[in-house]
Amino acid sequence: MVSTAQLRNQQFLFISHENILSIVVPNNIMAQAAKYATSLAEASTGGEFKRTASVYRNFITKDGSSGFKAEANRYHLYISLACPWANRCLAMRHLKGLQNVIGVTVVSPVWDVVDPDTQAKGWVFPKEESRGATPDPLYGVKNIRELYLLGSPQHNGKCTVPVLWDKQKKAIVNNESAEIIRMFNAEFSEFSSKDSLDYYPEGLRKEIDEINHWVYEGINDGVYRCGFARSQEAYEKAFTTLFECLDRVEAILAQKRYLCGDQITEADVRLFMTIIRFDAVYHTYFKTNLHHISYYYNLSNWTNDVYQHRDLGKDCIDIFHIKQHYFRSHQVLNPYGIVPLGPVLPDFNAPHDREKKFPAKKH
């Protein structure tokens, strides 16, 4: 892998235009971010991006012993099609066949004002249906912040998606995507139309957990650690780790069809949501530009394989929402909100070699 030192030595290839255009970012933007503890404000004194933990961590169970019983049409999922964390929840809902059990509402891709007094921005609902995003069907709230305050009037932290909402208790059950996908996978089997499929099988749990850990640290969150870094040192550290982890994934996928063997698991779903956004957004916007995903032969074929799995990509991935959100929501990173027309993305429906390379085992 090319080192950051080698890349620094290539800086003579670039021409600085800093004297041509001066971009002024309003002073109150970072204050607004801090007030609502958005991801833009989550950095250490050393400039490293530090994501804070989710705070709503209740768990739905089959028997209701947790206080939240798995029931059809009791729970509602609020997501953004742009957000990889929320998107993984939509994917698991689809993979488990829970479309008629758990309702979904999609917010607008671009942040808008959620507090007129401070002009702070966050996830909002459109006034009318637009490209898959819809007004809130339950309470008519205008934004996710209002939903949080409806369920918890004293809430003063981040107002993120996904939100798994209990219509019966009128409260947030959980806003941690890693836990929501586990609930969808295991606790709604009575209602699932695809119950025989287990994406967190007992025999693979240790391996899945281990992969999830370093993939999250280095790749899922790693792209954000590059993009939201506030120092060159922090950026280079995250950048190096990111591409070391991508190399590691490429090596695994040279030996296995999926990350944990011959069946897709939640580990694949979690990684996929970052990879599908990589070329469209992260490569440019978060400066993760050492390689495009096509550079990795096995990873790029795996991406097509997962995209086509039970029409996962067709039903769950929206590149328009993804690009609109990233390039237009973070004024600090892109003050003018210009959305690039490129790049030309690969055809994720194109044939791949994963089945041929790793034929299904006969039992």
Report, as residue numbers or ranges, the catalytic residues. Answer: 83, 224
> Could you give the dihedral angle defined by the CA atoms of residues 287, 273, 81 and 163, in that order, rounded to the nearest 10 degrees?
-110
Determine how many CB atoms are found less than 10 A away from the CB of residue 238: 26
Question: Cα-flanking dihedrals φ and ψ of residue 178, to 5°?
Answer: -60, -35
3-state secondary structure of 37: coil
Q: Residue 362 gets which letter from DSSP?
A: P
Whose CA is closest to 224, among 79, 81, 83? 83
- C-alpha 136/C-alpha 125 separation (Å) is 6
What DSSP line would sit under 246-301, residue for residue?
Answer: HHHHHHHHTT-SBTTBSS--HHHHHHHHHHHHIIIIIHHHT---S--GGGSHHHHH
- C-alpha 146/C-alpha 135 separation (Å) is 13
Q: Match 């409260």 to its residue by tokens.
A: 171
Report whether 187 contacts 70 (CB < 8 A). yes
Contacts of 95 (CB under 8 A, 6+ apart): 194, 197, 199, 269, 310, 312
Q: What is the dihedral sign for C-alpha 128, 129, 133, 134?
A: positive
Q: Match 């002073």 to its residue by tokens.
A: 27
Whose CA is closest to 105, among 116, 89, 92? 89
Q: Tell me whether strands 75-79 and 103-106 are parallel, antiparallel or unpaired.
A: parallel
- C-alpha 97/C-alpha 91 separation (Å) is 10
